[in-house]
Amino acid sequence: MELEGINVKIRESLDAKNKAREVALPKARQVIRSASLAIRAIHRERYDEAQKHLGDSKTALVEAQSALKVYPEIYFAGFLQDAEKEYSEGMATFALVTGTPLPDPDELGISYPPYLSGLGEAMGELRRHILDIIRRGKLTEGERFLTIMDDVYYFLISFDYPDALTPGLRRITDLARSVMEKTRGDLTTAMRQHQLMGALGNLDDKLHSELT
């Protein structure tokens, strides 16, 4: 029987794939961790620190991709796409908040579906940024970022493809719409309050001048 030869051949193949997976999996986790740290730094306006974390995320991602490039069945198993999505979210958040050009997926070295999903999830981070702006009373700036949210949302809904081609994108886009509408409501309320306070201030000044 040829079982011994078949055994060796299969075992060598599986051992090589398992070794590649064991290299790539912690790298993918590092991608996600560094991207998360970058987003936290962005909200604290520590942009140099954010760029460092995004650089670390990119390095880990390239290493994970390199380990799996000859094993597509593992490359597309899911965990690497999750890492690409988180890296995309970090890069998109940085660009949207700082006003720098939005990165191209080919330049980032990631596939298109994770890029789109990451961009969609960055909408939640943009909402957080707008709420910070509202608390500082910079309502005009908040309007500008809300317009950016609109642009990103309509960009995302233009990709109306089956879930097999863009996994999870429809759900993420629906969430992005919800986030955008909540943010619009928060900004509208803040603007009305600001207008009301201004009117009350003007009335108080008028009454004060009439009394004196």
SS3 42: helix
pLDDT band per the 50, 70, 90 thresholds, residue 196: low
161-186 per-position pLDDT tens digit: 999 999 999 999 999 999 999 999 88
User: What is the sign, positive or negative, of the torsion defined by CA atoms of 141, 144, 97, 163?
Assistant: positive
Dist CA 120 CA 143 (whole Å): 19
- The pair of three-digit structure tokens given for residue 160, joined into one six-digit string: 């109306």
pLDDT for position 190:
79
pLDDT for position 203:
47
SS3 208: helix
Dist CA 2 CA 10 (whole Å): 12
* pTM of the shown model: 0.86
Q: Are the CB atoms for 92 and 122 separated by under 8 Å?
A: yes
Q: Are the CB atoms for 27 and 69 separated by under 8 Å?
A: no
pLDDT for position 193:
72
Instruction: Give the mean model confidence (pLDDT) for residues 4-12.
Output: 87
51-85 per-position pLDDT tens digit: 999 999 999 999 999 999 999 999 998 999 999 99
Instruction: Report domain extents, the chain.
Output: 15-100, 111-212
Q: Output the CATH code of domain 111-212.
A: 1.20.58.2140
User: 207 or 6, which is more confident?
Assistant: 6
89-139 per-position pLDDT tens digit: 999 999 999 999 999 999 999 999 999 999 999 999 999 999 998 888 887
